[in-house]
Chains A and B, each alone.
Chain A
Amino acid sequence: AQKVTQAQTEISVVEKEDVTLDCVYETRDTTYYLFWYKQPPSGELVFLIRRNSFDEQNEISGRYSWNFQKSTSSFNFTITASQVVDSAVYFCALSAGGSYQKVTFGIGTKLQVIP
């Protein structure tokens, strides 16, 4: 069985602060993919990043960075110098070998960036 845990249901930060969103996953498969999606107030989920289980290299894209650690089964997402436009619900997700067509989503973390 696959499981994704996002323990932080809501986070508030002041603009320009850094913020890290936690994601812990569970799977028995050795091959799997991890994802992050953003759901802005408009409602539509937008894909941010994917990472496969064989690539533990961290990734940076502008103010966004992702830290993948297999040893702790975590795939954390950091926003540096947060902005009001970052306010959204962020979902971590997992698809694993044997059932790649199904993606398991976490419950999401609602981020509010206060000006």
Chain B
Amino acid sequence: NAGVTQTPKFRVLKTGQSMTLLCAQDMNHEYMYWYRQDPGMGLRLIHYSVGEGTTAKGEVPDGYNVSRLKKQNFLLGLESAAPSQTSVYFCASSLGATPNIQYFGAGTRLSVL
């Protein structure tokens, strides 16, 4: 009964390094999301996908790229990490848009030095 699994749980990067965060869901959900959570800012949507092979920009997409090659996986990439990308990243998935009940992973804590 895994639900939404995020890998890795923690990561420290140096400025300019790249990395990919992996999100996997086993609920056959169509929609998947990447959020970042910062103190005093709540959850902000980075990118989302409404189906395999499709992606769209959210509220704060700059500096990030995503891919959804398989329905169950949603990857978030940082090509050149910056200290401003230090955050906790959450992946979520949902069956559909109405109502959009989202199921979340445990989060990835990323520090960029």
Contacts and interface: CB of A to CB of B under 8 A. Distances in A.
A45 B100 contact: no
A61 B107 CA distance: 27
How extensive is the interface on chain B, given as a class?
20 to 34
A34 to B, nearest CB: 9
Nearest to B31: A101
A42 B88 CA distance: 13
Interface of B: 31, 35, 40-45, 48, 50, 58, 88, 90, 92, 97-107
Given A46-B104, A91-B42, A101-B97, 19 more contacts: A9-B40, A33-B98, A43-B88, A43-B106, A43-B107, A44-B104, A44-B107, A45-B90, A47-B102, A52-B99, A91-B43, A95-B97, A100-B98, A100-B100, A101-B31, A101-B50, A101-B100, A103-B45, A105-B43
